Amino acid sequence: MAEELNPFKISQLQLDKAAEKMQLDKTAHAILREPMNTLETTIPVRMDDGSVEVFTGFRVRYNTARGPAKGGVRYHPQENIDTVKALSAWMTWKCSLANLPFGGGKGGIICDTKKMSDSEVERMSRGYIRSVQREIGPETDILAPDVYTNPQIMAWMMDEYSALKGYNSFGVLTGKPVEVWGSEGRFDSTAMGGMYIMREAANKLKINLKGAKVIIQGFGNAGKFAFELAHNIGANVIAISDSKGGIYSEDGLDLAKLEAAKEKTGSVQGYQDKNAEKISNEKLLELKADVLIPAAMENQITGSNADNIIVPLLLELANGPVTPEADEILFEKGVVDLPDFLVNSGGVIVSYFEWVQNLQGYYWDIDEVYSKLDKIVTKSFHDVMKTQTEYAAKGKKITPREAAYIIAVSRVAAAMKVRGWY
């Protein structure tokens, strides 16, 4: 069953499914099933105690037919080449769906930064850049933060790359601190993009967002900003959770009180209010509301609980929260489930803006960033809806995820075709 396969096999199966529905050319399909380029590197790092530890790093360029590869670098003890390959494929489709002039890439190092000092992390990050320097660059492959990498690490990496080149190369990666020309709006861009999609989808489904009931799973970067932004447009967040469990109040929750509870007790479950009650993460997903936003982990809605989801609109702000089996159940039930690589594309779109600003040396204010982001995600949403309607008119029922895949894959295939790759 697909749910037990490794991530790269899952990404290939998803492509196969889309290829069949869109009757993709066989050669284009064969090219797109594999990354164009994979690199495994060895990074010796001098540790604080004087010993040398040897780390393994990866960089994968999945496809560059539409532009330079773009994707994050993850630091994780369980990092492996199949995960990096899968993530680079998903970046290819995400960039294509948003119609950015990028292909997809991803990288990582097998390491546990929780057991390393900051200076060890810095030396390892600089070592990684030295080992992949010939593969990366503003016109070939552009890096970004991901799991356990952050703006400080991006600043060290950019500095190392610039030192190797002999000039400042800010555009080699995105997600930098603003002091070295990161973009305004980078931190809430994922949630912001998701909220623009929520606005468009609610409009289509005739859900009035003023007073609408919203459930959010996860209280990290994505979940917290989603709470704030949903609240700002008049929605009522009635339940939220973190890894320890959830809290629910039909009257709506208060962000400042949630943050205080999290700070004091280590969990949103410490929230106190007369009508608030603790609930499990499982129960949270099954509450009655207008919008459900998984913003935590993958594989949260599966074959065993999909039938209990009773919201009309599900926005996948997290990566991979809905399994392929659940996808079909939700579709049959009439739940509109908008896929991760549409809903959370705001992050990579603002990364693209950062790269554009770095290349131009001309910087935009936050309003300009948001309005350009709005335009791109809104168009992506309507592209997906249009493709779904067009297929329905031909008698083919497809999910929003399949529609998004078809758009993304056909754009990459078209670029390969005109370039003469097949």
Q: Which segments within 255-347 are labelled E, that is strand? A: 277-279, 291-294, 313-315, 336-338
Cβ of residue 152: shortest distance to ligand NAD, in angstroms? 16
Pairing, β 236-242 against β 213-217: parallel
CB contact at 8 A, 215 and 238: yes
> Which sign does the torsion angle of CA 307, 313, 316, 317 carry?
negative
106 in catalytic set: yes
CA distances from 279 to 223, 243, 250, 258, 419 (A): 17, 12, 12, 15, 54
Helices (H), 23-107: 26-32, 81-97
Packed helices 189-205 and 346-360: angle between N→C axes, nearest 10 degrees: 130
Catalytic-labelled residue, pool 94, 106, 213, 262: 106
Instruction: Tell me the C-alpha distance between 1 and 256, whole Å.
Output: 43
By beta-carbon proximity to ligand NAD, the closer residue of 45 and 87 is 87
Cβ of residue 335: shortest distance to ligand NAD, in angstroms? 19
By beta-carbon proximity to ligand NAD, the closer residue of 107 and 218 is 218
By beta-carbon proximity to ligand NAD, the closer residue of 67 and 193 is 193
Cβ of residue 392: shortest distance to ligand NAD, in angstroms? 29
Cβ of residue 5: shortest distance to ligand NAD, in angstroms? 19
Q: Is 234 exposed, middle or buried (0-12, 13-18, 19+ CB in 10 A)?
A: exposed
Q: Which two tokens stand for residue 41?
A: 């590197």
Cβ of residue 342: shortest distance to ligand NAD, in angstroms? 12
CB contact at 8 A, 174 and 144: yes
Instruction: Tell me the C-alpha distance between 40 and 38, whole Å.
Output: 7
Cβ of residue 145: shortest distance to ligand NAD, in angstroms? 8
By beta-carbon proximity to ligand NAD, the closer residue of 243 and 272 is 243
By beta-carbon proximity to ligand NAD, the closer residue of 131 and 351 is 351
- Binding residues (CB under 6 A) for ligand NAD: these are 190, 217-223, 241-243, 281, 295-297, 317-319, 344, 347
By beta-carbon proximity to ligand NAD, the closer residue of 39 and 225 is 225
Instruction: Tell me the C-alpha distance between 11 and 4, whole Å.
Output: 13
Instruction: Tell me the C-alpha distance between 164 and 157, whole Å.
Output: 11
Q: Looking at this protein, which amino acid is placed at residue 404?
A: A
CB-closest chain residue to ligand NAD: 220
Nearest to 175 by CA among 147, 193, 155: 155
Active site residues: 106
